[in-house]
C-alpha cells in the first residue's frame, strides 16, 4: 500500500538541538561519569517523573522539583558528588531556550504536504508552566500552522513508546500502519512504530534522515526550491468588524500579537490577497490586521461615489484605529491602497508608525496639472476612463464573476488583459476567453472565494474608488510642499505593466529616507506571484524600521 502520511517527532526532529540530549552534554561540562544524569533522568520507568510529565499528570515546574530531588538522591546513593551550583532548572532551561525550528526538516514537510501527503506532529510534550513557557508557545504556534495534525502526549494521557499513542495517531489520521512513515530521534520510539508495521527513520542527522525520506516517499526533498509560504485559511481566521459611522463598517481578519500592521488591498481584491503575508508577519511578532477595504467583501459598500474619495477613506482608517484603541500602526498597501497609505503618511503621519507601498509609487499632486489630464494623456490608463460611467463596467465585470477573476489574477507571462483602448473596444474583457484557464497563481478554491465575496455587493463600491479623481487631486494639493519623513518603503515589481517601476524614480525628492525593494519577473499581483520574495523584503524592513521604538522619558 502506498504511503499517505508522514509523522514527525518535535524534539530532536523539528526542533534542534534536542532537549533530551541536555543531560548528556551537561555530564561533559561538569565532568560527571558518562550516563550518570541520563540514568536518573529515566529512573522510575513507566511510573517515573519524566513519563508522568509526558502524560500530562504533572507540569514542567513540578517535574523540575521532582528531578532536583531525584538527582540529589541518586548522587547520594551512588557516591558521586554533584557540583554546588548544579541546577535542573539551568540545565533544561538552557536547552529549551536554545531550540530553534529545523528549517530543512520543516521545508521537507511542506513539500510533502504540497505533494498530497498528510503531515502530522506526534510528540512527547509537556505542560509548560515555566517562566520560559513563551518560547515553547511561539515555536508550537508557528509549527501548528503548517501541519494537518498535532498530537501531544500531555494532552491525551499517553506517551511514546506506548503502542497506544501510535494507535491513537492512526485513528486520528484515518490511515493504516503501512501507509505511514515516522521520524523520531529515539530508537525505542521507532521500535514501537515498526512493530505496528510503520516505516521508520532515525533522525539523528537531518540530511541523512531526509535522504531516507526521499527514498521511501519518492519526493525530492534535498536541494529543492523553497515551497511557497503557507497561506492562511479563511475559515481558520479570527474576523472582526469596526463601526465607522451609521451604516458603514469595516471588516478585517487578525492574526498575531505585537506592533499592529494594517494590510490594505487593491482593485479588485480582498483581505484574502494577503493570504501568504498574514501568517509570515504574525510569526515575526506583529499583530496583523488585513482589511476588506470599503466597498469590498464583508465591509460596507455604500453606493455614493463620494464615500470613496481618498479624504473620506483616510478618515475611515483613522476611525478604524480609534475604535480598536490603536494609536499608531504600520500601513502596507497595494494598488489603490498604495495611494491610500501614502495619503495616510502625508495627512496623518502621527498615526502611521511606518508606511510601505507594493507597486504603487508616491506621486504628489501637481496644482498646475489636474490628475484627470495626466490620466487622459497616458493610453495605459484608458481603463480608468472606461470606469468613470456608473453601471457600465459593473455590468461587464459582474456578468460572470469566475471568468472575471480568472482573467484578472494571472502571472506576468500569462496576461490576457490590456488596459489600452478599452473604451474603443467596448469593454475591459472584450477579446478575452469566455472560459479562461486557471492561472498558476490561483486554485479554483481561491477564485471561488473572490466570487463569493463579490456576490455580496458587486463592483460598484470598488469602481467608485476610480470615480473621485478630481476630488483626490484637489485634496492632494493641500499637502503640496510636505515631505514624508517617517520610515517608508517602496517595493517595485519589474513587470507590472501599469504601475511601472520607473514611475517611482523621483520619490526620494519627497521621501528622502525612502528604502526600496525590487522584485524581478513579477507582475501586478505581487502578493501571490512572488510571496516569498515580498515577505522577505517586508520582514527585513519591519524588523529594522517598524518594530516598537524604545520609550524615551521626557523628564
Active site positions, annotated = 335, 466, 524
Rounded CA-CA distance 479/363 in Å is: 12
H/E run at residue 333: strand 329-334
Rounded CA-CA distance 55/460 in Å is: 57
Rounded CA-CA distance 192/188 in Å is: 7
Instruction: Determine contact, residues 98/90, Cβ cutoff 8 Å.
Output: no
Residue written as grid cell 478585517:
252
Rounded CA-CA distance 508/522 in Å is: 23
Report residue 8: phi and psi, to 5°. -120, 135
Distance of CA 402 to the CA centre of its chain: 26
What beta strand segments (E) does 85-229 contain?
A: 100-101, 118-123, 149-152, 180-184, 199-202
The DSSP secondary-structure symbol of 503 reads: G
Rounded CA-CA distance 264/317 in Å is: 10
Rounded CA-CA distance 423/375 in Å is: 14
End-to-end CA distance of the chain: 73
Report residue 238: phi and psi, to 5°. -90, 125
Rounded CA-CA distance 503/508 in Å is: 12
Rounded CA-CA distance 101/99 in Å is: 7
The DSSP secondary-structure symbol of 509 reads: G
Rounded CA-CA distance 496/141 in Å is: 35
Rounded CA-CA distance 77/452 in Å is: 71
3-state secondary structure of 184: strand
The DSSP secondary-structure symbol of 11 reads: B
Amino acid at each position: 500500500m502506498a504511503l499517505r502520511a508522514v509523522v514527525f517527532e518535535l524534539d530532536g526532529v523539528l526542533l534542534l538541538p534536542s532537549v533530551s540530549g541536555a543531560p548528556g552534554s551537561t555530564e561533559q561540562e561538569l565532568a560527571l561519569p558518562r550516563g550518570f544524569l541520563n540514568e536518573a533522568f529515566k529512573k522510575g520507568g513507566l511510573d517515573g517523573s519524566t513519563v508522568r510529565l509526558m502524560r500530562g499528570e504533572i507540569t514542567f515546574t513540578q517535574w523540575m522539583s521532582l528531578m532536583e530531588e531525584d538527582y540529589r538522591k541518586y548522587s547520594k546513593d551512588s557516591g558521586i558528588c554533584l557540583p554546588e551550583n548544579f541546577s535542573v532548572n539551568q540545565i533544561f532551561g538552557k536547552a529549551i531556550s536554545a531550540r530553534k525550528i529545523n528549517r530543512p526538516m520543516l521545508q521537507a514537510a511542506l513539500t510533502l504536504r504540497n505533494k498530497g501527503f498528510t503531515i502530522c506532529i506526534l510528540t512527547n510534550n509537556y505542560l509548560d508552566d515555566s517562566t520560559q513557557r513563551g518560547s515553547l508557545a511561539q515555536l508550537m504556534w508557528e509549527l501548528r500552522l503548517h501541519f494537518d495534525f498535532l498530537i501531544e502526549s500531555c494532552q491525551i494521557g499517553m506517551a511514546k513508546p506506548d503502542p497506544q499513542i501510535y494507535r491513537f495517531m492512526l485513528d486520528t489520521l484515518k490511515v493504516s500502519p503501512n501507509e505511514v512513515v515516522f521520524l523520531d530521534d529515539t530508537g525505542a520510539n521507532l521500535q514501537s512504530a515498526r512493530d505496528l508495521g510503520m516505516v521508520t527513520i532515525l533522525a539523528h542527522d537531518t540530511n541523512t534522515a531526509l535522504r531516507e525520506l526521499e527514498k521511501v516517499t519518492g519526493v525530492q526533498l534535498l536541494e529543492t526550491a523553497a515551497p511557497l509560504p503557507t497561506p492562511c485559511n479563511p475559515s481558520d481566521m479570527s474576523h472582526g468588524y469596526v463601526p465607522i459611522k451609521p451604516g458603514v463598517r469595516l471588516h478585517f481578519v487578525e492574526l498575531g500579537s505585537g506592533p499592529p500592521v494594517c494590510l490594505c488591498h487593491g482593485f479588485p481584491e480582498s483581505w484574502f490577497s494577503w493570504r501568504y503575508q498574514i501568517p509570515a508577519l504574525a510569526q515575526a511578532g506583529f499583530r496583523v490586521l488585513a482589511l476588506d477595504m470599503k466597498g469590498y467583501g464583508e465591509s460596507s459598500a455604500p453606493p455614493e461615489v463620494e464615500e470613496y474619495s481618498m479624504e473620506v477613506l483616510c478618515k475611515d482608517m483613522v476611525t478604524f484605529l480609534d475604535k480598536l484603541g490603536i494609536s499608531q500602526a504600520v500601513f502596507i498597501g497595494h494598488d489603490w491602497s498604495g495611494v491610500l497609505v501614502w495619503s495616510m503618511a502625508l495627512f496623518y503621519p502621527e498615526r502611521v508608525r511606518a508606511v510601505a507601498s507594493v507597486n504603487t509609487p508616491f506621486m504628489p499632486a501637481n496644482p498646475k496639472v489636474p490628475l484627470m489630464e495626466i490620466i487622459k494623456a497616458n493610453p495605459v490608463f484608458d481603463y480608468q476612463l472606461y470606469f468613470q460611467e456608473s453601471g457600465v463596467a459593473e455590468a461587464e465585470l459582474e456578468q460572470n464573476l469566475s471568468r472575471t477573476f480568472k482573467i484578472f489574477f494571472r502571472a506576468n507571462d500569462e496576461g490576457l488583459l490590456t488596459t489600452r483602448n478599452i473604451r474603443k473596444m467596448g469593454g475591459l474583457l472584450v477579446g478575452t476567453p469566455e472560459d479562461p484557464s486557471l492561472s498558476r497563481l490561483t486554485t479554483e478554491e481561491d477564485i471561488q472565494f473572490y466570487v463569493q465575496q463579490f456576490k455580496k455587493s458587486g463592483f460598484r463600491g470598488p469602481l467608485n474608488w476610480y470615480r473621485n479623481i478630481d476630488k483626490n487631486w484637489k485634496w492632494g494639493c493641500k499637502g503640496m510642499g510636505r515631505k514624508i519623513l517617517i520610515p517608508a518603503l517602496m517595493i517595485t515589481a519589474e513587470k507590472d505593466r501599469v504601475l511601472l517601476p520607473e514611475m517611482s524614480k523621483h520619490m526620494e525628492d519627497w521621501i528622502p529616507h525612502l528604502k526600496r525593494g525590487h522584485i524581478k519577473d513579477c507582475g501586478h499581483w505581487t502578493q501571490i506571484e512572488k510571496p516569498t520574495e515580498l515577505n522577505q523584503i517586508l520582514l527585513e524592513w519591519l524588523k529594522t524600521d517598524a518594530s516598537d521604538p524604545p520609550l524615551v522619558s521626557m523628564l
